[in-house]
A and B are shown apart, each in its own frame.
Chain A
Amino acid sequence: GQNIDQPTEMTATEGAIVQINCTYQTSGFNGLFWYQQHAGEAPTFLSYNVLDGLEEKGRFSSFLSRSKGYSYLLLKELQMKDSASYLCAVRDSNYQLIWGAGTKLIIKP
Chain B
Amino acid sequence: ETGVTQTPRHLVMGMTNKKSLKCEQHLGHNAMYWYKQSAKKPLELMFVYNFKEQTENNSVPSRFSPECPNSSHLFLHLHTLQPEDSALYLCASSQVYEGPGELFFGEGSRLTVL
Contact = CB atoms under 8 A, between A and B. Distances in A.
Interface in A48-95: 48, 50, 87, 89, 95
B100 A43 contact: no
Contacts of A42: 2, 4, 90, 105-108
Contacts of A87: 43
B61 interface: no
A33 B100 contact: yes
Interface residues of A, number: 22
Interface string A2-44: 0010001000000000000000000000010101000001111
Interface of A: 4, 8, 31, 33, 35, 41-45, 48, 50, 87, 89, 95-102
Given A33-B103, A101-B42, 11 more contacts: A31-B100, A35-B103, A42-B90, A42-B106, A43-B103, A44-B105, A87-B43, A98-B42, A99-B42, A100-B42, A101-B40
